[in-house]
């Protein structure tokens, strides 16, 4: 019950099974600060960075930089990765970053779900764990599923 409440209160927030990684959609800045206090993120990955469209992106980036948190940001669309090389490249970066790590996009389903699936498989998680995450947080767009399935057997 507690996990369900946290997931709803913090925009699809939850822990990735077997990894020191959290995932979600992007909550408002008040909730961002609260999540940081609770989970002490050392690295944040924003997959939907668009300060011209989303006014909370710049304040979020500034907050994490002020708190010595590595902040990576990308302008990925919900309909799939920008290039086939983009996801493996970001996963390689994340594997070498300080944990705990928090990955988010706007809703926490497509971009985040696809990247988390790729990360899970790269780290040796079984497909059952990937599918469990998708069922819990939302099944990503077909383009993301196709991408992950094609690249990782």
> 0.75 cut: is pTM over it?
yes
Pair type for strands 43-46 and 21-25 = unpaired
Helices 127-137 + 111-122 axis angle, to 10: 160
Q: Could you report the per-residue pLDDT of 32-82, keeping only the tens digit for each?
A: 999 999 999 999 999 999 877 788 899 999 999 999 999 999 999 888 888
| Greater model confidence, 140 or 55 | 140
Instruction: Give, rounded to a whole angstrom, the gap between the first and last alpha carbons of the chain.
Output: 34
Residue 55 structure tokens: 């006014």
Cβ pair 81, 96 in contact under 8 A? no
Q: Could you report the per-residue pLDDT of 59-69, keeping only the tens digit for each?
A: 999 999 999 99
pLDDT at 5: 84
User: What residues have CB less than 8 Å from 21, skipping those under 6 apart?
Assistant: 15, 94, 99, 100, 101, 102, 103, 116, 119
Cβ pair 87, 74 in contact under 8 A? no
Going from N- to C-terminal start, the domains of the chain cover 2-151
Residue 133 structure tokens: 């995450």
2-151 CATH fold: 3.90.190
User: What residues have CB less than 8 Å from 113, skipping those under 6 apart?
Assistant: 23, 133, 134, 137, 138, 139, 140, 144
Ramachandran category for residue 97: left, alpha or beta (phi over 0 → left; psi -120 to 50 → alpha): beta
């Amino acid at each position: 019950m507690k996990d369900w409440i946290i997931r709803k209160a913090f925009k699809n927030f939850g822990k990735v099974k077997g990894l020191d990684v959290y995932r979600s959609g992007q909550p408002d800045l008040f909730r961002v600060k609260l999540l940081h206090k609770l989970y002490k993120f050392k690295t944040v990955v924003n997959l939907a960075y668009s300060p011209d469209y989303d006014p909370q992106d710049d304040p979020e980036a500034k907050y994490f930089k002020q708190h010595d948190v590595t902040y990576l940001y990308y302008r990925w669309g919900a309909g799939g990765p920008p290039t086939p090389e983009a996801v493996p490249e970001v996963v390689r970066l994340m594997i070498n970053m300080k944990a705990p790590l928090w990955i988010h996009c706007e809703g926490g389903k497509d971009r985040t779900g696809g990247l988390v699936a790729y990360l899970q498989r790269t780290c040796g998680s079984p497909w059952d764990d990937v599918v469990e995450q998708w069922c819990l947080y939302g099944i990503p767009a077909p383009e993301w599923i196709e991408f992950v399935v094609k690249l990782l057997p």
